[in-house]
Every structure is written in C-alpha cells, then in structure tokens.
Homo-oligomer: A and B are copies of this chain.
C-alpha cells in the first residue's frame, strides 16, 4: 500500500466504519491515506509484506532451476458490488488467482489497486476489503502490496479493483491456448452460466424459487490436483466474459483447430436455464468465475474427470466435446435435435460489467 507508515502521535480519530464515507483526502497520499491503509487494508489483509510499508513488497520465490513464472492481471468493475454468492472483493481475488492457475501455476502473491469514488460508504468498503482478505487467506495467497486512489463523485462508480497475481509453473507444464490437437477431449469442471445469471438477476430484481449463486471460486487447488494426474494437460482456460463459447473460439483460433461440442453434455442448472429464457440470454455466452475448461489427450480424459470429481469445485466435471482438424478454427455443436450449428464468438455486449 505504497509505503504509508503507521499513523502516529494520536493526531487522528479512528475511521468511522459505521457511517463515515471516503473523501478525496483518503487518496491524497498524506495522513488520511495512511490511516485508511493502516486501519482497513493492513488490518484486513494482515501479512508481514504489507506491514513493512514500502512502495513494493520484496519476496523470495524459491524457484527451482527451469521453472517458469506467470503474471496475470484483471480489472474488476462488477455491478452491483454485492451479489448472491460473492462481491467485488472476493471476485477480484478469485478472478486473478484463476488466471494464474490457468497458466498451470501455483499462485504465490497478489497485488491490489483500488479506485474509489468520493462519498463511498466506509462500511461498504470495509465489507469488500474484508471479503478480499478472507478470499486471499482461504486461497493461501497473500495480498502483499497495493495502492488506493480516490476520484470525485460522479467520476467513478463505488469501487473498482485491479488485482495482479504471480505464480510458479512446475517444470514441464504448459497449458497455453495453442496446444490443442485434433482428437483431444474437451472437459468442463461443472455447470455453466451461474455467475452471469446471478449478477443479472440481482440487477434486474428477479427472484427465483432457488436463489442462483455466483460460482465465484479459486481454482488453483483443483488445477494442482489435475496436473498431478496429467502433467501433459494441453490447455486450461476459465470461461469468464464471453462464456464457454467465446473461450473455446479463442483456443480454436490459437491452436488452429476446430471443435465439436455435444449440446446435451454441457451442464446447465435448471434454474439458470429458466433465468436465461426469461432474460433472453444464452448460457454458452455467460461468464463463469469458478469453472475451467481443460483440453487433454484422449487417454488423459477419464483419469482427469475421476480426479476432478473428487474436488467439490469439479464434482460435476464432464466431457463436452472433441477437438477436430479444421484450419478455419470453427467451433461446432451437435444440437439436442441432432443437427449441427456453428458456435461463434460473442458479438456485442451481452452482459456489461459482469466482472
């Protein structure tokens, strides 16, 4: 948190987390900034790196010879800030951890930068930051450095959070999107569409018999188990914005292959299906925040599914298709009615500010 040392000498009253608000001074880099960092961020993220109070955090990554590292970053602008199954705080931890994990890496550390709108309730900020702290502790990945800026009322929207993660890729692991080959199996770790539908339902004020919760979760534990079973796993990718359809199109493009999906095999919860019909959405294009796509050699498919199903985050893992030879990179789907159709990239803006 850019080096703000403890608020000293008792000049200031403690922050009012009941009905206080963020003001421009909290972003000015002086005593008010230091107080916000000390009483909120350092308290919630509690770790020795932050307590050092320097502009960056130093660490020893214990890299074995030949091991590579990965760096990933995400800006989070989700609206509303609090939604069924999570909030912008936990999401900003999970989203970036998952990008690191999709690189096949064990995440080491996170950084976080906050852009807060003047007048934002300190109570809400505290709830968000504490949720981030919990998500980071649960994942075993500390937030070691950060930054806070404040913009005038009307120049932001509550709070935006950018997180960056770094991690270590074990020797021999390469899960980049260019590695899919014809004949490979396409697996998904569970049912799709929950995150986007949870956000949209909240935004539209819809209620369902069973509340739809975001699937927001950190997947690096699941990934580590999968790599132990199949270190040669070809591709990992989390189907966030743009959904399963767009993510598979990206991989098809990177690898120069086609894909054939089996519509009947793609898991969608009945209440998500119902909400999608109501909202005019296609679950194939809806963001997920706790699911992954794995592409692997045919012989790895069953061992991987067996392994994934032992983890609660992969218990509904299934195979949804096969990689084909196709220089045009088309993703096709065998429909429930027996026909075939092309599953294209998302065009337009199906769901704004979903993450």
Contact = CB atoms under 8 A, between A and B. Distances in A.
A141 to B, nearest CB: 12
Interface string A176-196: 111000000000000000000
Nearest to A348: B25
A254 B53 contact: yes
Contact of A241 (B33, B152, B176, B251): B33
A263 to B, nearest CB: 20
Given A25-B349, A61-B63, A253-B6, A176 B52 contact: yes
B345 A34 contact: yes
Contact of A112 (B28, B57, B73): B73
A348 B30 contact: yes
Interface residues of A, number: 99
A136 to B, nearest CB: 14
Given A55-B237, A72-B57, A73-B111, A352 B150 contact: yes
A51 to B, nearest CB: 10
B54 A253 contact: no
A59 B55 contact: no
Contact of A103 (B56, B146, B247): B56
Nearest to A253: B5
Interface stretch (A157-165, A200-208, A269-277): A157-165
